[in-house]
Structure 1
Amino acid sequence: MAVDEVSEKAPNDLVTVADREAERLISLGLREILDVPVVGEESATDDPSLLAAVGTAEMCWLVDPIDGTANFAAGRPEYTVIVALICAGEPVAGWIFVPETGQIYVAEQGSGAFRDDTQIKRAPPAAEVARLRGAVPTRRLDPPGRAWLVEMTGRFADLGPGARCAGVNYTQMVDGILDFVLNQRSFPWDHAAGVVLLAEVGGVSLRPDGTRYRLAEKPHNRLLNAVTLNCWAAVQTTLWAR
């Protein structure tokens, strides 16, 4: 990708011409399916007032045209396209498309989760914390946060930075590669579809204090995802043990 096609919309937060054009085309297509407001990451970054629709509109679409833009711009394969349908502030359906593999993950509330046309049956994780595999994205951790993460690493079978792409992290949880992910931010376009996908295989998405994740809340709060509630509780206790 050419240098003039990539820019920073915020420190360490890239946007490309492909992000903006993909969002425009996806938004047009979604309105043909269901003519309700579309809240895209790039348009909402330019005009934050658009985010109000997530919490106030009867229905709306959420779009992340390229989730994992830094990977995409660098030629790495870990990026996705994310779409979610929101009803009264709650995600009720989600789609995560992985362009590099051609796979699409689909979930509708109460109807199961699917990879392409195959329903996903996620095996429960190990009961022992020392056998759990997780990810904590490190890009926005300050030095004390990175030191804390190093201290935590030895308590799990594996604890890495993840894919630098929320969509890929969600697919890896339902595919059995990861058991949990601790996110430093929780923008709705990154997580709405994944929350539905994870819930449909028995997983949970909660704040570290155990409260529900709500799409309209402040996006800079942490979000702990896990493939079962028991797994979530074990990870939460281990990460914040006193």
Structure 2
Amino acid sequence: MRIDGVDRIDHIDMEAVTAVLREAAETAILPRYRALADGDVTEKSPGEVVTVADREAEALITRRLRALLDVPVIGEEAAAENPALLAALPKARYAWLVDPLDGTANFVAGRPSYAVMAALVRQGETVAAWIVHPATGVGYTAEKGSGAWRDGVRLRRGPASADPAALRGAAFTRFLPDAARAHVEAARSRFADAGLGTKAAGVDYPQLAEGTLDFSLYQRTLPWDHAPGTLLLTEAGGTAARHDGIPYRPADDRLGLLAAADPRCWQTVHDILINFA
């Protein structure tokens, strides 16, 4: 990576960052998949688990990314121990975001729906993103203004159906207020499918970009969960916006996010799942 005289990155070695995530997967994560020992899993907050794989992968990724570009690294596990790290995100000219093991609960349960993710943020806006699926070896990348890719093949998300009954999506309701949760549960039947998703944003967003899903509704919007995937989706031609229609930015810590295949799909799903008050 190079930085010019006005402190602006003019080239990003996308493959170098992908290699870092693959190294973390191969050395810290895959050897423990379906092989976690007693004591390898702990609860970091009520209902939220963390494993030794999460922590070792994040430490490795943090070292490697700083060697590529020495700017603040905000990792999920580091921020869990020191929440003040997140305060640097809106102020930093550049910062790395790292989710070393997205979908930890799936990983612990032996399910393959988990991912390793990173994003580069410039002045509060995501400008590059990486997602690796260790279970399959598939890797995704996106650069702002330059497109989205799966293992070197360009992703272009086509428009979804105009008929809600033909749409397939996900609505994870765990963190919704009671009234909103009840409304979403009642509205699921209006779609062809509207389950809970994979419970891993790093798996859901590629499905949106590739056309397996048409929409996904989230309440919590932690930046390491959503910065990589929203850039992948929007660079493929999709839409990711807050409930008021403002595009997602990782430094914005408000609740609520709807990702969809295209603006029309976003509005259709928004009218059914969100505009109910």
* TM-score tier (shorter): over 0.9
* Matched letter for residue 169 of structure 1: D
CA-based RMSD: 1.4
Is 1:71–1:78's contact at 8 Å kept on the other side of the alignment?
yes
The structural deviation recorded for 1:47 is: 0.5
* Other-structure match for 1:233: 267
For 2:274 and 2:223, locate their aligned partners in 1 and report how far apart those are by CA, in whole Å.
25
Is 2:157–2:238's contact at 8 Å kept on the other side of the alignment?
no
For 2:269 and 2:38, locate their aligned partners in 1 and report how far apart those are by CA, in whole Å.
41
SS across alignment from 2:39: helix
The structural deviation recorded for 1:146 is: 4.3
Is 2:115–2:132's contact at 8 Å kept on the other side of the alignment?
yes
SS across alignment from 1:106: strand
For 1:166 and 1:78, locate their aligned partners in 2 and report how far apart those are by CA, in whole Å.
10
Task: Choose 159-168 or 138-147, whichever is displaced more.
Answer: 138-147
* Other-structure match for 2:253: 218
Is 1:201–1:227's contact at 8 Å kept on the other side of the alignment?
no
* Matched letter for residue 232 of structure 1: W
* Other-structure match for 1:166: 201
1:117-128 superposed matches below 5 A: 117-128=152-163
Change (3 A) 1:240 1:223: closer
* Matched letter for residue 98 of structure 2: V
Is 1:86–1:92's contact at 8 Å kept on the other side of the alignment?
yes
* Other-structure match for 1:138: 173
Q: Compute the TM-score of the two structures, normalised by the length of structure 1.
A: 0.95
The structural deviation recorded for 1:134 is: 0.8
* Other-structure match for 1:194: 229
For 1:138 and 1:150, locate their aligned partners in 2 and report how far apart those are by CA, in whole Å.
8
* Other-structure match for 2:183: 148
* Matched letter for residue 220 of structure 2: R
For 1:78 and 1:138, locate their aligned partners in 2 and report how far apart those are by CA, in whole Å.
18
1:97-116 superposed matches below 5 A: 97-116=132-151
* Matched letter for residue 82 of structure 1: M
For 1:228 and 1:95, locate their aligned partners in 2 and report how far apart those are by CA, in whole Å.
22
The structural deviation recorded for 1:217 is: 2.4
* Other-structure match for 1:16: 51
The structural deviation recorded for 1:100 is: 0.5
* Matched letter for residue 263 of structure 2: L
CA deviation vs aligned residue, 1:163-191 (integer Å, no higher than 9, x gap)? 01011000110111101100110000000
SS across alignment from 1:200: helix
The structural deviation recorded for 1:92 is: 0.3
* Other-structure match for 2:113: 78
For 1:135 and 1:222, locate their aligned partners in 2 and report how far apart those are by CA, in whole Å.
14
The structural deviation recorded for 1:240 is: 3.2
For 1:3 and 1:171, locate their aligned partners in 2 and report how far apart those are by CA, in whole Å.
33
SS across alignment from 1:190: helix
SS across alignment from 1:50: helix
Change (3 A) 1:142 1:239: closer
For 1:136 and 1:143, locate their aligned partners in 2 and report how far apart those are by CA, in whole Å.
14
For 1:207 and 1:136, locate their aligned partners in 2 and report how far apart those are by CA, in whole Å.
15
> Would you say 1:60 and 2:95 are equivalent positions?
yes
The structural deviation recorded for 1:211 is: 2.4
Counterpart selection for 1:32 from 56, 67, 72: 67
Is 2:51–2:104's contact at 8 Å kept on the other side of the alignment?
yes
The structural deviation recorded for 1:67 is: 0.3
* Matched letter for residue 78 of structure 2: S
What is the aligned length? Answer: 241
* Matched letter for residue 262 of structure 2: T
Q: What percentage of aligned pairs have identical amino acids? A: 52
